[in-house]
Structure 1
Amino acid sequence: MRNNQLQQWFSSFWYWLVEAKLVFMGFFVIAVAMFFGFFIWNSEASVRISGYVLQLIGMIFAIRGLLGVRKHFGQPLLRRLIINWFKRFPKWKRNVVIDAGSAHVTIAGMKARAEVWMTDNPNKPIEQRIDAIIKNIERIRVEQREQGNAIDILKESYEEHKKQVTEQNNKIKEDINSDLESLHTSDLITSLVGLVWLTVGITMSTLAPELSKW
C-alpha cells in the first residue's frame, strides 16, 4: 500500500515538473551559458560570446513564440503574407477587364388569407340574421382558439430558444477559457523564455569586461 502511494506521488510529481519544462529548460540554458562563460574559459571574450549565443537563441525562441500566437488565432502564416506581398508586385501592363454585373430581381410571394364575414342585412328575416350572427361568433371563437394555440407554440419555441442560447453562451465561455489557457501555457511561455534569454545575453555581452573581472 505504501509503495503504491509512493509510486503515485512520484508519477504526479513528474507530471507536475513536465508542465513547467520550458521554464526549467530556460534556467538550464542560462546556467550552461554562464558555466561556459565564467568557469570554463573565464575571459571577457567567453562572456561576450556566451551572451551573444543567448541572444541568438532567445531571439529565435521569441520569434517562434510570436508566430505561434499568430497561428493560434488563425491568422495567415508569415511566409504566406510574404508570398502574397510578392504576388501583388505592380505589373507594367495591366489587362482591363470589364465585368458587367447581372441584376437579380427577387419577387417575394405574399400569402393572402381570405376572411369570410357574413354581413348583416336588415332586409333579411330575423332567423337568417341571427344565424349569420351565430356563424360570425363561431368564426371568432375559432380564430381565438387558433391564436391561443399559436401563442402557446411561440412560448414553447421561445423557452427552447432561450435554453439553447444559454447553452451556447456557456459553451462559448468554456471554449474561450480553454483557448486562453492553451495560449498562455504554450506559445506565450516560449516567447517569455526567449525574451529572458535575450535579456541575460544582452547583459552578459554589454557588461563582459566587468563580469569577467568578478
Structure 2
Amino acid sequence: MTAPHDVPGVHTVIGLDAGIANLRDADHLIRHLMGSLGLPTGTIACTHLIRTDAHRGTAVSLALPDAHVAEVTWAHLADLAGPTESAVLGEREYGPDHAARTAALAAKEHAHRQGGRAVVYPGADRLTGIVTVTDVLALTAIDRITVVGQPSTDGQGPDPATPVLTRDHVRPEWRNGQLTLALVPAPGGALAPFEVPNPTPCCADHA
C-alpha cells in the first residue's frame, strides 16, 4: 500500500505524553483514543520509547490523514486532557513543559518516519491468524519486511509465499522512512513477528 498512508508533514502528526511507562499501557491508550475520538481508518498511531536525561517513559503519536482531521482531533484532545497530560501539534502545545517536550519528540520521530512502533495502521486488522509475506505487504501499510539474523540479499526480503504466524499482534516500526516489520524464524519454516504479545495469549486467558 503506497499513497494512502503517506504523512504530509508535522501539521498532521500529534504527539501525546500521558505519563505512561510501558508499551502495554500505551497500546491500551491508543485503542481508547481511536474509539473516544472517532479517528478514521487512515490514522497511523505509534508508541515511542523516550529516554532523555529529564524523562523516561512511553509517548504516543497520531498521524492523521489530513490537516482538517488533525485540527478536529487536536480540539477534542484538549477538551479531554488531564492536568498531567501534554500534547503537541506543529508549534502548538498544552500541558506541563517537560511532558510537552516528550510529546514533541514523539511527533518529530513520526513525522520524519525515523521512529515509532505502529499499533494502528491501514490494514492492521487483516493481520490475524496465518498470512503470507505477500499478504502483509499487499494488504497493509507495511513497506518492508526483514528477518532478524538473516540479512537480505540485493535488498530482497523473505520468500513472498512464506507463512507468517501473526499471533494477532503485529507491530511494525518506522525505519529510514519505511514502515518495517521485523520477523523471526518460527516452526515449520514459517516466520513470526519479533515482538511477542504481552501478556501472551495463554497468560491472558488465565487472567
Q: TM-score, normalised by structure 2?
A: 0.21
Q: Which has the higher contact order (CA 8 A, sep 6+)?
A: 1
Higher helix share: 1
Q: TM-score, normalised by structure 1?
A: 0.20
